[in-house]
Amino acid sequence: MKRLAVVALLTLLALAPAHAQTRAVAIFAGGCFWCVEAAFDKVDGVLATTSGYTGGANVAPTYEQISTGRTGHYEALQVEYDPARVNYGRLLEVFWRNIDPLDAGGQFCDKGPQYRAAIFAVDESQRALAEASKAALDRSGRLQGRIVTEILPAAVFYPAEAYHQDYYRKNPAAYAFYRWSCGRDRRLERLWGTSSTQ
């Protein structure tokens, strides 16, 4: 009987998709999802990023709906990564250094509930790591103020419209102007120093 159980387990493992062991998912909200996507796409071990919406009640919300600030959704980024190449702790570092953890009303020039920063933990391990990283940042005294970024359980993630995906690559001039005029990099440099977006 034990031999049959072992054979059954080995068969299940052999039939499991190969990517299941080399792909994991993280979800972060950090204001404008174009900017968050640009930051995570630079990270070795990140396999894919998708801009989208999460945390609200509407099913399959549109950009126009979430832009009202009344749906409860956040602009967010789903990050697929290879845990053998980059761990969740490193992704948390990238996240913190690309947001303003002191702003509860949005991020940079984008204000409203849809632009709040948050970590959406997909499991207990991610939640614990996120809580620990937030506590460590708070204890460090690096930031002058209270860290208001929330850690929430992951909710349904809806990919944004196609024109939002890879926006910074498809529209580099418009993206650069938006980022500059929003003051994102200036604020990040004041908070974190010149290597903030690495």
- Residues 37-64: pLDDT tens digits? 999 999 999 999 999 999 998 999 999 9
**Amino acid type, 151:** I
Q: What is the pLDDT of residue 21?
A: 60
How does residue 22 score in pLDDT terms, banded at 50, 70 and 90? confident
Domains with residue ranges and CATH for the chain: 19-192 (3.30.1060.10)
**For residues 79-99, average pLDDT:** 97
93 pLDDT exceeds 70?
yes
Say whether pTM exceeds 0.75. yes
d(CA 108, CA 29) in angstroms, rounded, equals 13
6 pLDDT exceeds 60?
no
15 pLDDT exceeds 50?
no
β partners of residue 51: 77
CA distance to 21, 38, 58, 71, 181, per residue, from 153 (Å): 22, 24, 17, 17, 33
d(CA 29, CA 51) in angstroms, rounded, equals 10
- Catalogue the active-site residues: 32
Length of the chain: 198
